[in-house]
Structure 1
């Protein structure tokens, strides 16, 4: 997505609960074996007591406070998630907007599974350009992967799921402003989808009348096994590599950069997946395409559902990772499958 001009990202925030379960505790409890723990490469996972929308409100408050913005200046609230939000037929985005005091905002829920956070940023960017009077867009994500419905440690291959929420404010940069007008600058976005891979998360399961009708827990391993039996691993890895390459090259090209070792990127940032998954599916291609230093966030959070992208943006702000004019390419992926890239720089 070629932006007519860069946008500002202010107050990107990551809200994590105080509760945690270490890898050692999980292994001792029989929730995963030591070999799997080593492949994940995690220290532990955050474990929440709050419902996801309540966590999103906390993250939203942090983002608005860090951005120095009154909630009444928000014209759009986009909320993304992948797992149950606490009620059966209900809009968490409206709850978040109401609790934050964004009384003039239009709340919208975004369902693109783990790529939902990146998709929400892309939708917000498009809306800002077609509706100049919109003001500011607030993007939130939140997920909790609690028993009995979800096995956060062993319900998937190569991924462990942590609870938490994120938020950021997306807005136009003022013309001719002096001083710091944003925490980060968004230069371009790209999204590539391969819809034929949707079976990875459907498998051979029949359509059912209600959630978890086929079993008491979300079982991603079952559906992936069924896909691999029918299609083979190479069908997925080949399509994934092609889509990832296209997403990277398109994002850089839309910002006037090239996907070569000469690209002026300081960092390229992988999704918050297990260490072995990143090593196999992301690290070789991203390093070859960009020549940038690969960052592997998430050792202390695990995969945050729809929140990986915003969590990385929050890390960049909190740690002051990017100096003014330095670039980072943030990679996101989600079931379906969809891959997104965001190119940002220090403000």
Structure 2
């Protein structure tokens, strides 16, 4: 039995360093490869670093990949033993809503698109429904963000307004049944909070433009950067990824951003979520996205953090 209990917090002050790992999406073998490259040694199902380094996962353990169950089991073991921490990703949140029933509806509609998104995860646990229920309960113990000494972690966007909202309404930073229900109601404060922290800022494209997302869906809204950009920046400068396919990419960006940009003097923050590609890079000296599209033939990415407040791109390490 894998414990669902909340372990003692991983302490970056006493740990020699922390390795932060991007979206996994059921890619278990790539995770093992990355842990090996980072110097972790397996013993009795656990992975420990000889220098005592710790691990933090930025969420999105499930969906899309070939070994969702194995991936979740390993991360649960690491978290349960105090060797790692993990924040909730939007795919874990979406799965919770997909299977949660209130008197007249599921919290997430069972549309063909939503069914496709969770199909790999539900198939992975088809023969072990009890373990799926345990896993869902464990997801509810995961924090929506981490703020540790000198270090912050959130799945998609660190927006201080909504971090402060969570501190007031969810003091332990974890989902509760009432909050989960409220967050499924469009327009509610809880809904806006989850949309921002787990899914990021979005903006409507001009002139009715659209694009195909990573799953082949046509979208007319696109993900927006939440770290500072030049005052004269174009649409291409402001979009997180995919700008090269947009007709408006070279036009000046004059939209109002949804919140306050991440301050340049704030502690380093790590996220996932954004389907990056190409050469690994920092988004800002104190912002690092670790999602390099492992579920679409990309790489699993990690950052080796040793307490620095100005991040170093040379400390990005990939699975291949």
| Larger proportion of helix | 1
Higher fraction of strand? 1
Q: Which has the higher contact order (CA 8 A, sep 6+)?
A: 1
TM band (smaller chain):
0.3 to 0.5
TM normalised by structure 1 equals 0.31
